[in-house]
Amino acid sequence: MNLPHKAPIRFAQKVIEKKEDICIVSCTFPFIPTLAMISEAAAQSSAAFAQTQEVVIGFLISLKKIEKISEFTKQNYQIKIKKSFTFDTMTEYKFEVFDEKDICAKGELTIALKN
């Protein structure tokens, strides 16, 4: 993944699976993550949809319906992110954070790409 983020705030590490509107990304945290870190990892995971290796700057515009379903107990999670809606340079995504097969958190976010 081509992200401008550096350690320790680069959480999204590798695209595990990529389909047209859904990607699964492995994320690693320097310690047990907070819900804010999980939300940032989901935003970083949206970069899996990039069509180019060139770094494109994106801005996290909104977070909504963020829900912690169970306690975070590990440093490694996977994020399933799905495109919901695109308008011009803004895209809304839905995401689920899971550990093995259990969903730990979910929510929605909007990213706007810089022209």
Q: Taking the domains of the chain in order of start, what are their residue ranges?
A: 12-113
CB atoms within 10 A of CB 92: 17
Q: Report the CATH fold assignment for 12-113.
A: Thiol Ester Dehydrase; Chain A (3.10.129)
pLDDT tens for each residue of 22-75: 999 999 999 999 999 999 999 999 999 886 667 678 899 999 999 999 999 999
**Average pLDDT across the chain, whole number:** 93
Whether pTM > 0.85 for this model: the answer is yes
Encode 45-83: b = buried (16+ Cβ within 10 Å), e = exposed.
bbbbbbeeeeeeebeeeebeebeeeeebeeeebbbbbee
How far apart, in whole angstroms, are the C-alpha atoms of residue 54 and residue 102?
34
pLDDT of residue 80: 97
